[in-house]
Structure 1
Amino acid sequence: MSLDLRLALPVLAVWLTAGLLIGAPAEAGVVAMTLWLLAGGCAALLVASRIPRRVTSPAPPRFRSWQKMGGSLMLCCAGAALVATAVGVWAPVRLPPEVRAAAESHATVTATVIVWSVPVAAKAFIGSGASGRVRYRATLTQIASRGETAHVSSPVVVFAEAARGRHEPEIGSSVQLRGTLRTTQPGDAAVALLFATETARSLAAPPWWLQWANELRARFKTAATSLAGDGGDLLPGLAIGDTSAVSPALDSAMKTSSLSHLTAVSGANCAIVIASIMLLGGYLRLRRAWRILFSLMTLLGFTVLVTPEPSVLRSAVMATLTLVSIGVGRPGRGIPTLLAVVIGLLVSDPWLARNYGFALSVLATAGLLVLAGPLARVLAQWMPTALAAIIAIPLAAQLACQPVLILLNPSLPLYGVPANILAGPAAPMATVVGLIACLTLPVLPGVAAGLLAVAWLPSAWIAAVAQGVSTLPGTRLPWPGGPPGVLLLVAVTMLGLVVVLRGPAARPARWPAAALAVLLIGLGGYAGSLIGTGIGRVVSFPPDWQIATCDIGQGDAVVVRDGDQYGLVDVGPDPKLLSTCLATLGITHINLLLLTHYDLDHIGGVDAVIGRVDTALVGVPENAEDERLHERLAAGGATVRQAARGDAGTLGGLRWKILWPIRGATTMQVGNPGSVTIMFDGRGIRSIFLGDLGQEAQDTLRRVSPPGRVDVVKVAHHGSADQSPELYAELRARVGLISVGATNTYGHPTDKLLRILASLGTMSVRTDLEGLAVVAPGTNGTLVLWTEKVTDRGPPTSPTPQQTDVPYAAGRVSGAG
């Protein structure tokens, strides 16, 4: 297999340059100047090397290889210089001083935006009454604050109240909102988040060249969702990429079964559209030039209809280049076309470099172009050719995309390829028939209804496969996250491909190589698990994380951190579980240990930290066994102090103080009512840890030591029903951490507790459902939440206008949610 990879190094240079500079745009000018000079120097050397000389013998091979290397280096420098220049030019335009100043001042602004995506439920953000809120991408065109108006052009994500009884803003429409701005992390596609405090007011309808698509999209969604079950809800996603009707449960099942790519419009959809037009043109005996022209026009309309997401842009541009090359009689090859398109798109929009959708689209296409054919030929030795192709296509795409998917979720899909084998053949039928039904709906509604019924069948089949596969045991295998996990997976994948795709001449040695591969994969998996429990997964956490709730079953163990200073509130029931959590977090020493009380699910894991603690705060001992625990901690080098209200100190840059119990009091000093309650404050997060306090103790705490508002609360007693609604109403936390075992027999967390949190706009984060949970400070008062497992989270049941929205990213960090 011969591959034209001459543009591979320039693509890598362009992608890396863009990815780094969009995070530090202030350096783009210097980097661009340096790279242009290097590119010019390489060009000058190449020109000089080609000046004719009075030499009778040809240039030696080594000299020609140096020329090729010089040409490749020049292309790398020139491409990187182009993208660096683009970052330097566009970064100030995207985030002008007026937008930055409004975000930093937290002032209420009047903003005019142009909507560029379909509004969807704001499930990615928590807090601030996410109930009934929607989010959509838009371009901020005008901002008015404190009597001053500025015209800008900044990409933003809008979070607004859902339009009740009215239509949501349409793509291309201009609306005016009042709200507050917050800047995102450098490198995000949107420069700011706009949280609207009032209902949007329409200023202008979409232009005609967008309005037709809006109307068609809405009519098709209404018609499709009127069909029964998940098949109707899924059909708009399969046909035109509109997933707004997909329920959270179905969305989760599609992701778990690795079928969510079927609802992402990409190359396959564009290929189907173009092939249909070319075949129709051939049937009508049109000349090739006319067929290509009609195909390009149809492709443009299709892109408008499905909205130009990054994967759609990549597919559309690549298809356009392919059609043009066919038209001029020089058909291009897949890999060079793909690489050229990647360079062009990254130069035109460098912020695509950190877009997961764009990366997955490029990798999936590369996998199909490079791996699908060889894998199909190998598999065809043991099965029919058609079946080999059906297996090879999803396998090639999965292998190519998995290194990036590991960054999103550090696990491997066990049933991904089988699920795609079952569902894949139904996707083209649902896509083609569904798209035809969409296009005929305005002119032939009766025919469209029949086509919808036909398309519903494969759509329902795909939904059934997703739901069925998602219920199988062990749907995902754990794998180290972060860069170590990516490198390990790439190494294992490359080794496996080398063994499987070896040529016929090497086939006699296949079994020894396969045995070696199995051995290395086994050792790699073991090493990967060790890496994953230590450095590997912690790399994927927010780098400045402050609170981590360990998944240690029915018990408490919560880490508080500032830099290299670590505090630990309780140690859970089992030293092994706690050791695993601390290793995952990369913690070897505890600066401050707090044992809230002496129940086994709070002190049973103490052996994991004895000898590793500087200061231990403890409650009133209940018996001689508790006193011996103090002695063991002291023997391990810890300073043991009995804590009570009024005690205070620091953990790095964080201030802590004890709110409960009251020193010298005669009641509620031991057991659950005597749980030592501590508050941490600093670095953008105010948090409180309630131990196992019951309602009576919580009410007393509220009277004698009013805690005030907090950002994070460690919910008392694993979410039991013995809670004080008044205390939680005073705390009004944005995140409620519930450390609870998945198989507990107490019914924790109770519906009563969950209703209390939901009514206050507090997002419940449960270790039984989400595993290890990490909280970090975000930008401008936001919080970033990372969880080990992805789970569906509906918005709280009652909005709280005063609460601040919190970006949520399950298994990843994303300032834009």
Structure 2
Amino acid sequence: MLPIAVAVWTVALLCVFVPAAAGWCALGSGCGAIVVLGIVLKRREHAASRAGLIVVLGIVLKRREHAASKAGLIVVLLAAAAAVSIAAMSAMPARDSAASWDGRVVEVTGEVTSSASVGRDGRLWMEVQLTGIGSPGSVRGASAPVRVGIDPADGFDLGATLRVKGEAAATDPGERAALVVFASTASVEVAASGAFAVAADARSAFIERSTRLPEPGAGLLPGLAVGDTRAVSTELNDDMRTSGLSHLTAVSGANCAIVVGAVLWLAALCGAGRVTRIIAAAIALAGFVVLVTPEPSVIRAAVMAGVAMLSLMLGRPSAGAGMLALSASGILIADPWLASTAGFALSVAASGALIMLSPSLTRGLARWMPQPLALAIAVPTAAQLVCGPVIALFAEQQSLVGLAANLLAAPAAPIATIIGLLACLAAPLPLLADLLAASAWLPAAWIAHTAGITARLPYAQVAVVPGIASAALVGIVSAAVGVILTGACRTVPVVRGASASVIAVMLALGGAHVALNGPLASATSPDGWSIAACDVGQGDALLVRSDSRIALIDTGPEPEPLAACLRSLGIEHIDLLVLTHFDLDHVGGVDAVQGRVGAVLHGPPGESGDERMLQRLADGGAAVTLATAGMQGELGTASWQVLWPQRGSEVFPPGNDQSVVLEVEGGGVPRALFLGDLSAEAQRMLARTAHLRGSYAVVKVAHHGSADQDFALYQDLRPVVALFSAGIDNDYGHPRAESLASLEAAGARVLRTDQEGRLLVGLDGDELQLWTERQPP
């Protein structure tokens, strides 16, 4: 089954990423299967050919070396490849029809097919199977999977029929949803009914009961027990991801395995036979799936976990691998787009690790510790080693504390899951449900504390470039660790020596990375800077320093680049955070300074997610204030003043043209103006109303140097240095040639983060000092 699963997965990936290839794959695989089958049938007088026919019909031969069995394997392989190609090809027209609404305001109707979860933007996201789509008021029939984001509300449960109006955006090839809809309005047309409604009510009651308990742990408990993450705070969710514990906050194979394992243990304790135990575990797993919503990811996790636990109970890992491959093949034929999802790959990898690797790791670790402890360590270790390369294919971060965090959380996770699940089921008995929920809270709080502490350890995660190269590197290291821990290849000193060398090299490189990015991070940074433009890609993150007081203007699109810049400059605390506006390239990295900010000035918020971001900063101890023209303050011995948005700027919607414009001078800071993302029209209004006077030593050019500039403004400002904050090879062509030429014509020295990396500006008497991270081309 393994070659068949690999073939099905490969063909599925090809079909979903290159849709035009689906027809050719179906034709080629189908014709190949017919040709091979014809050859086998033509030689029916030979016993081998009859054996081949038997293989085609699905009966496994004991003598696999026969040529007929090989022919049968080829026929099944080609038939499976044809099946997944046909499945992909048949879904294409409906998906293309849905994707044709890209960039338009649409009205859609459909049935919710997943549980809802809160995204980083504050919206409630769910999968929906379309039944209709069209312009508002003219919905036509349709059938395709879409992803819908709405403002948080009740009633959007699995099985409910909803109606949504909003802006649509087509997804990239390979994504399971054909369309993403950002809802402006949403309503439930038909509420969930039957078992789905009962399960939804039970989950809601459990969430309400859990959230009455103290944090941390209260919001996490429903995620651990029934996979409902709506009560998990954004900060805790990020900590779980950083610490490698995020698989516990949703229904994964681990949750299903815990349920199955608990039922098997309880049935064995009652003296039940093997068949009875398997039946009881299957019934319990089916009930668990219904309770936590039988969405595709849950069914997938249940199948994988069931196969893994069954194979371990039968003591036949090789048979388990075959069953796992069969399950994966069937799931991919039913939904080829799962081949490109990280969740499916991780489910298969983790289940495979549980079946194939954990027994060897247990035996290897048992050489140095008791068997129960070896088993407890082996299971999460096997999952981490096998899943690491898969994670490196998709994620831009690799957790370095994941193994330790999982080992610490391992004893608490099954307790919280089982007792929390019982508390959910005991809802009709409030006293018993309260007692069970309180009992489950303690291990949930332990996991939440574990996530918070490990996520805040130095170098809890490292940035990587997702892709095959990173996956190969992580795979080599994982293989080396596996060889050492399992004691494999003890009779082949070369392999053991190579594995030890790989680990030694990685530890040395890791130690060097820690030193260079930790104690030595700021050793190569000059002391005389007062303005810094961090290289955070396509986005803004600028620092102003006066007498050891720090202001940060915007945070860039991601936390890690900003965190690296702050480390390199030796900055631990931000006295003033200015969020000019709430576009992702200006506020996406705010988590890098969460809990380390004294005060926040911000532009007008536009969405509910903006308000939630400000509330998180306030919860972290920051004083949050809406910026308006005329506001003034001090940063060390420097002074700052808000010049925009002004009265009358309300004609512009929240966003670029209502960016906070800040002027800073004095206290060792050269006179500087930071223009946010203002367009030419807003710049002209600023020039007319802000009474800009004199020249500026430093000007942060608006909107990353786009072409939408009022070049007369820069002539009036007469900047000595013009800072352009842009990313390498960005899709917008920033900074534009005409903007660069205009600033140079105004007499400015042009500095660009996309070419020169981090930019530093200082003041030595009356002269500016400039430092760049790289030489310009």
* Mapped pair 1:490 → 2:490: no
Q: Decide which of 135, 149, 157 is 1:159's aligned counterpart.
A: 149
Counterpart position of 1:390: 376
AA aligned to 1:490 is: G
* Mapped pair 1:103 → 2:102: yes
Q: Decide which of 140, 164, 180 is 1:177's aligned counterpart.
A: 164
Give 1:26 shift.
3.4
Q: Decide which of 113, 116, 119 is 1:116's aligned counterpart.
A: 113
1:775/1:439 Cα in 2 relative to 1: closer, same or farther (>3 Å)? farther
1:331/1:505 Cα in 2 relative to 1: closer, same or farther (>3 Å)? closer
Bigger drift between 257-266 and 516-525 goes to: 516-525
- The count of residues paired between Structure 1 and Structure 2 equals 564
Question: Secondary structure of the residue that 1:464 maps to in structure 2?
Answer: helix
1:246/1:288 Cα in 2 relative to 1: closer, same or farther (>3 Å)? same
1:118-156 Cα shifts (integer Å, max 9, x gaps): 4443424xxxxx6xx433221221234377442112211
1:398/1:103 Cα in 2 relative to 1: closer, same or farther (>3 Å)? same
Give 1:178 shift.
2.5
AA aligned to 2:532 is: G
Counterpart position of 2:532: 555
CA distance in 2, matches of 1:327, 1:390: 16
Give 1:697 shift.
9.1
CA distance in 2, matches of 1:347, 1:719: 61
Counterpart position of 2:347: 361
Check the 8 A contact 2:106/2:133 in 1, yes or no: yes
1:41/1:492 Cα in 2 relative to 1: closer, same or farther (>3 Å)? farther
Q: Decide which of 207, 214, 219 is 1:221's aligned counterpart.
A: 207
**Alignment of structure 1 residues 52-71 onto 2, 5 Å:** 52=46, 64=65, 69-71=70-72
Give 1:281 shift.
5.8
1:634-675 Cα shifts (integer Å, max 9, x gaps): xxxxxxxxxxxxxxxxxxxxxxxxxxxxxxxxxxxxxxxxxx
Counterpart position of 1:57: none
CA distance in 2, matches of 1:392, 1:771: 46
Question: Secondary structure of the residue that 1:110 maps to in structure 2?
Answer: strand
Give 1:526 shift.
12
1:168/1:393 Cα in 2 relative to 1: closer, same or farther (>3 Å)? same
1:233-277 Cα shifts (integer Å, max 9, x gaps): 111111111111111111111111111112232333323434454
CA distance in 2, matches of 1:327, 1:370: 13
**Alignment of structure 1 residues 344-493 onto 2, 5 Å:** 344-442=330-428, 444-493=429-478
Check the 8 A contact 1:318/1:337 in 2, yes or no: no
Bigger drift between 330-339 and 17-26 goes to: 330-339
Give 1:517 shift.
3.6
Counterpart position of 2:74: 73
CA distance in 1, matches of 2:275, 2:346: 33
AA aligned to 2:452 is: Q
* Mapped pair 1:191 → 2:178: yes
CA distance in 2, matches of 1:264, 1:236: 9
TM-score (norm 1): 0.60
1:26-55 Cα shifts (integer Å, max 9, x gaps): 33122201111112223334455774289x
Check the 8 A contact 2:5/2:329 in 1, yes or no: yes
CA distance in 2, matches of 1:409, 1:467: 20
CA distance in 2, matches of 1:138, 1:154: 8
User: What root-mean-square deviation, in Å, do the aligned CA atoms of Structure 1 and Structure 2 show?
Assistant: 4.8
Question: Secondary structure of the residue that 2:158 maps to in structure 1?
Answer: coil
Question: Secondary structure of the residue that 1:250 maps to in structure 2?
Answer: helix
Give 1:285 shift.
7.6
CA distance in 2, matches of 1:392, 1:328: 19
CA distance in 1, matches of 2:328, 2:258: 22
Counterpart position of 2:602: none
1:699/1:162 Cα in 2 relative to 1: closer, same or farther (>3 Å)? closer
Give 1:65 shift.
6.9
1:773/1:229 Cα in 2 relative to 1: closer, same or farther (>3 Å)? farther
AA aligned to 1:113 is: G
Q: Structure 1: where are the runs of 5+ without partners?
A: 1-6, 55-61, 125-129, 530-551, 562-567, 574-600, 602-693, 733-748, 750-769, 779-817
Counterpart position of 1:41: 35
Check the 8 A contact 2:107/2:137 in 1, yes or no: no
Counterpart position of 1:781: none
Counterpart position of 1:24: 18
Higher relative contact order (CA 8 A, sep 6+): 1
1:56-96 Cα shifts (integer Å, max 9, x gaps): xxxxxx99476555444333322211100100112223443
AA aligned to 1:368 is: L
Counterpart position of 2:3: 9
Check the 8 A contact 1:391/1:417 in 2, yes or no: no
CA distance in 1, matches of 2:108, 2:396: 39
* Mapped pair 1:139 → 2:126: no
AA aligned to 1:191 is: A
**Alignment of structure 1 residues 527-606 onto 2, 5 Å:** 555-556=532-533
Question: Secondary structure of the residue that 2:367 maps to in structure 1?
Answer: coil
Question: Secondary structure of the residue that 1:231 maps to in structure 2?
Answer: coil
1:610-657 Cα shifts (integer Å, max 9, x gaps): xxxxxxxxxxxxxxxxxxxxxxxxxxxxxxxxxxxxxxxxxxxxxxxx
1:559/1:49 Cα in 2 relative to 1: closer, same or farther (>3 Å)? farther
Q: Structure 2: where are the runs of 5+ without partners?
A: 49-62, 515-528, 546-568, 570-639, 666-671, 684-699, 701-724, 734-777
1:201/1:311 Cα in 2 relative to 1: closer, same or farther (>3 Å)? closer
1:762-797 Cα shifts (integer Å, max 9, x gaps): xxxxxxxx998996579xxxxxxxxxxxxxxxxxxx
CA distance in 1, matches of 2:307, 2:500: 44
Give 1:332 shift.
8.8
Identity %: 35
AA aligned to 1:151 is: G
Give 1:322 shift.
8.2
Give 1:441 shift.
1.3
Check the 8 A contact 2:656/2:679 in 1, yes or no: no
CA distance in 2, matches of 1:569, 1:426: 40
Question: Secondary structure of the residue that 2:111 maps to in structure 1?
Answer: strand
Give 1:212 shift.
0.4
1:64/1:181 Cα in 2 relative to 1: closer, same or farther (>3 Å)? same
CA distance in 2, matches of 1:480, 1:524: 17
Check the 8 A contact 2:14/2:21 in 1, yes or no: no
1:718/1:115 Cα in 2 relative to 1: closer, same or farther (>3 Å)? farther
